[in-house]
Amino acid sequence: MDDADALFKALADPTRRALLDALSERDGQTLFELCARMATAHGLTSSRQAISQHLDVLETAGLVTRRREGRYTFHDLDTAPLAPLRERWHHPDERTPR
């Protein structure tokens, strides 16, 4: 699975996109913080394990990095893999609609 495939597969799930939303508001959230935030702010009722597995996928895609400190694991957003996505299929000058 190449990088692009991992990236787009990661973005395909609404829960994972909500996680990126949550992390874009504030970096360094723990798994439990993200679980609470999903339940409240995003109205999702996902279990801890489900969220953890989603974070695994996001980490594989390079969108999330983890750093462990003591018994806490903090999650940070990395938007770098999204950069090539903006270039692709985006040539408004080349195709003027009407």
By the criterion CB under 8 A, which residues form the site for its own copies? 4-5, 8-9, 11-12, 14, 17, 20-21, 24, 27, 77-80, 82, 85-86, 89-92, 95, 97
Interaction between residue 49 and DNA (CB under 7 A): yes
- The token duo for 37 is 């935030």
Name which of 25 and 39 has its Cβ closer to DNA: 39
Name which of 47 and 96 has its Cβ closer to DNA: 47
Q: How many CB atoms lie within 10 A of CB 97?
A: 4
CB within 8 Å of 3: residues ≥ 6 apart: 61, 62, 81
